[in-house]
Structure 1
């Protein structure tokens, strides 16, 4: 690894570490905050779904934005800054009338999804340009490991803070601290200097042209299956823990800690797993284990027994996300990185919009929440089985670089 690669590697890992400190406030506690504000199941679904559809639309402008700048490092700054203001907007929630506060939570995470969609496309390209292609899986695994560690420690500290500080000041200060952490992560992003030239996108590539590639079609359908089925019940897990099992913020923090510890552990092994069975198989088996995890949450005899399922859930989803990124980066030709990253981001956005509405609509219709979660597990299991390559098929896109 050259000195420039090493510096980029270092800053990209620190970027996600600091961002992980902030991310836990939305991934673990935003839904609980909404529940405390008497949000309905459909509101919880919109908290995940609406930003996703906005991200889907705004990511279409990623290539257009990139062409306005000399390099990817310059292009990423403003979108990345705009996205980080979500945490500041969330901190303003207590200043609004109570009846408007759940709606404000949705707006606070939806409006910053506009720059997030643009920045997400550019950031995928920036990672490809920051290190040699042989280091991509190592970089993604290292980022996943440090993000999970940061998320776990932050979840623990935030849980303690939320349990002991008065409501709603506790959430307000937490979101302000998260905003400051994201600004530190942005400093590290700004210090990444591209060393691999993937080319400036000259003209947008029509999606029909992209789908002429068998590799891109595979990435699209695998990404769609994983995200629709995973997020079909994802927003409802905190609601089940709080309403059905009487979980507090402290337990939600512990649940997140165990889940993230599982993700961090698996992140250290994904390179070896992918090298042995292939990234597509890793994604398929990962989805099957996310099904077992959500079933474990519903069938647990006590609240604390759900922690076993939490660890399994974190490990399985970590394997899925790392595998998906590996498939995408190895599929995209160097000259079409932005176009492939755009379609990849849009696929995630569309699937993440559709998925949460499935379970939320059922829960809003007074279907028993436990049965909704069990059904979501069935969908995840089916997705995993479908994604697994045929036993007689030759494994493709094996990530061997991580074992070098």
Structure 2
């Protein structure tokens, strides 16, 4: 099948160039946020004595909000100018990163963890609108024929800026006394959040893809209900099996998210510098895989690459369980980066491939529901698993679960 894309005028080319530049800088500064606050918040929580349940609820709180807010947010965004809503949502969400800088000065350690969970819950409300709106804004601001190139450059910029930011923050954490070192790291993250938001302000939705876009607001001229959006008929075919397998994957994926930081800090006593180097290795390998992923997907397809990546994800908790110091932790980070290069680069395309054009809203709504349910169940189940056994045994169980999920998707997904 040959795809013919419409030509664009000189004015539209200028708009495309401007949008692309601001989207690149948006991702560059978001990488700064990722390599600072987002990478070290759970480590900070572990260092102030947080339990695995509390660390898990950093992700669990976001999932709860997404499950409640995602569908109403979709209806709300369908009636509003997407660029304005994205900018306002970004401000309302990211201002809380500035509040985190003040936590060590305002509260005792036990109160700080409660404050972090409250902040996470509050910022997830505008964060849901931001996540939905950003996907729509990207589609409306970049023509279809340019999206692959722009998305690829954005991912490369994100990887590089995250690596640099992570390594810089690691040095800050080693050179400055606790907790001022983490306040500086959170300040770097807030700067990244502010600058990313500023660049989103200048992205304009000049290329609305109305022929392929789905109107969330109406079906045959009437308002969609939850029943209309969550089409149960799509689960009767192969897509139902895919969704079930992905639910299992996301559960075993997030089982470890609450355990890993606690194990790194309390069990094998890794320093912030070692953790930052491990994070850097993770993102370097993820970047290297990402830039070669197109050839793998063209040859083997999204399903096989996704299954392979999930199987490789099982190696991370294995080496973490075997680790008694930095060396095996670095090995775990290397395999984790390779694995996530495959998983992160194929997962959404795997879903889109299974969702037919003209009916994607119902399919994607189910995946959004499954994804957040997996986060919530995994974030709550991980600490429970650790309490029932111990953190070391829990890591081996998580490794086994991830391997089974990868094999199942490879064979039957």
- Scaled by the length of structure 2, the TM-score of the pair is 0.86
Whole-Å separation in 1 of the counterparts to 2:116 and 2:22: 31
Establish whether residue 18 from structure 1 lines up as the match of residue 33 from structure 2.
no
Q: 1:239 aligns with which of 238, 262, 266?
A: 262
Q: How does 1:70-219 map to 2 (within 5 A)?
A: 70=81, 72-94=82-104, 95-194=106-205, 195=207, 196-197=209-210, 198=213, 200-203=215-218, 204=224, 205-208=228-231, 211=234, 214=237, 217=240
Contact conserved, 1:263 with 1:315, CA < 8 A, in 2? Answer: yes
Whole-Å separation in 2 of the counterparts to 1:229 and 1:79: 31
Query: Measured at CA, do residues 343 and 186 of structure 1 come closer, stay the same or move farther in structure 2, by a change above 3 Å?
Result: farther
Structure 1 residues 280-322: Cα deviation after superposition (integer angstroms, max 9, x where no partner): 2111110000002221222246422321220110121232122
CA shift for structure 1 position 19: 0.7
Other-structure match for 2:336 = 313
Deviates more, 1:336-345 or 1:254-263: 336-345
Q: 2:74 aligns with which of 60, 63, 67?
A: 63
CA shift for structure 1 position 217: 4.0
Q: How does 1:330-349 map to 2 (within 5 A)?
A: 330-332=353-355, 342-349=365-372
Contact conserved, 2:268 with 2:324, CA < 8 A, in 1? Answer: no
Deviates more, 1:195-204 or 1:317-326: 195-204
Whole-Å separation in 2 of the counterparts to 1:215 and 1:134: 30
- Scaled by the length of structure 1, the TM-score of the pair is 0.87
Contact conserved, 1:259 with 1:313, CA < 8 A, in 2? Answer: yes
Contact conserved, 2:79 with 2:217, CA < 8 A, in 1? Answer: no
CA shift for structure 1 position 343: 4.2
Query: Measured at CA, do residues 224 and 12 of structure 1 come closer, stay the same or move farther in structure 2, by a change above 3 Å?
Result: farther
Whole-Å separation in 2 of the counterparts to 1:136 and 1:331: 20
Whole-Å separation in 2 of the counterparts to 1:219 and 1:174: 40
CA shift for structure 1 position 279: 1.1
Whole-Å separation in 1 of the counterparts to 2:94 and 2:54: 22
Query: Measured at CA, do residues 326 and 14 of structure 1 come closer, stay the same or move farther in structure 2, by a change above 3 Å?
Result: farther
Query: Measured at CA, do residues 220 and 126 of structure 1 come closer, stay the same or move farther in structure 2, by a change above 3 Å?
Result: farther
Task: Please tell me the root mean square deviation across aligned C-alpha atoms, in Å.
Answer: 2.5
Whole-Å separation in 1 of the counterparts to 2:352 and 2:107: 43
List gaps (5 residues or longer) in structure 1. Answer: 394-404
Structure 1 residues 24-70: Cα deviation after superposition (integer angstroms, max 9, x where no partner): 33432111111221111211111221222212212122222213314
Matched residue SS, 1:252: helix
Deviates more, 1:204-213 or 1:16-25: 204-213
Structure 1 residues 320-355: Cα deviation after superposition (integer angstroms, max 9, x where no partner): 122112133445566666665554433322211111
Deviates more, 1:374-383 or 1:145-154: 145-154
Whole-Å separation in 2 of the counterparts to 1:284 and 1:338: 24
CA shift for structure 1 position 384: 0.5
Query: Measured at CA, do residues 96 and 78 of structure 1 come closer, stay the same or move farther in structure 2, by a change above 3 Å?
Result: same
Matched residue SS, 1:166: coil
List gaps (5 residues or longer) in structure 2. Answer: 1-6, 219-223
Contact conserved, 1:56 with 1:347, CA < 8 A, in 2? Answer: no
Contact conserved, 1:45 with 1:360, CA < 8 A, in 2? Answer: yes
Whole-Å separation in 2 of the counterparts to 1:227 and 1:109: 20
Whole-Å separation in 2 of the counterparts to 1:144 and 1:155: 16
Other-structure match for 1:255 = 278
Structure 1 residues 228-252: Cα deviation after superposition (integer angstroms, max 9, x where no partner): 1211112222222222221111111
Whole-Å separation in 2 of the counterparts to 1:239 and 1:349: 23
Whole-Å separation in 1 of the counterparts to 2:198 and 2:290: 25
Contact conserved, 1:11 with 1:191, CA < 8 A, in 2? Answer: yes
Matched residue SS, 2:231: helix
Larger Rg: 2
Contact conserved, 1:142 with 1:268, CA < 8 A, in 2? Answer: no
Aligned length: 389
